[in-house]
A = this chain, B = another copy of it.
Amino acid sequence: MSGPSAPPPTTGALRALPHARLATDLRAATLRLARRLRQQKADAALSDGLVASLGWVLQAQPLTIGELAEHEGVAPPSMTRAVDKLVEQGLLRRTVDPADRRRVLLETTDAGRDTVLETRRRRDAWLAPRLAALTPDERRTLVEATRILKELTRS
């Protein structure tokens, strides 16, 4: 867009940062797409937070309440409550760590795993037809872009 030869016709928020135009556009597009994706979930009775927590347990199990709380960016007491709900609904199993009996180890139940997979399936089901409407070149671009986006959040 803005080459090195011409001064970019940008306003306030865009000044002073290299690649500011890309940052701005990518930010807007990402937040918008994420918002649409979050609207799709397996169980409407599960909040976004519970869905995200359950998904991370499936991916990182076994893990402790504290570890899960930190990953999800909530305080430990909040995670205790969230885990209580997931356990009540039969989606999560909690066991005391035999090596350190202060710690609680979390794992998904079969139903919990199914819920996570179903949520992912629904989100993909929203996305996949839209991807199918793109050109092969555009899809190749997104494949590469996905790899790059993952890198961005690594640090």
Contact = CB atoms under 8 A, between A and B. Distances in A.
A34 interface: yes
Interface string A113-154: 000011011011101101110100011011111101111110
B29 A124 contact: no
A126 B27 CA distance: 10
Interface in A1-40: 1, 12-14, 17-20, 22-39
Contact of A127 (B127, B145, B146, B152): B152
Secondary structure of the A side of the interface? helix
B27 A120 contact: yes
Contact of A145 (B17, B19, B28, B145): B145
A98 interface: no
Interface of A: 1, 12-14, 17-20, 22-39, 73, 117-118, 120-121, 123-125, 127-128, 130-132, 134, 138-139, 141-146, 148-153, 155
The 9 closest A-B pairs by CB, nearest first: A34-B34, A145-B145, A29-B149, A23-B124, A23-B127, A17-B128, A19-B131, A23-B128, A13-B120
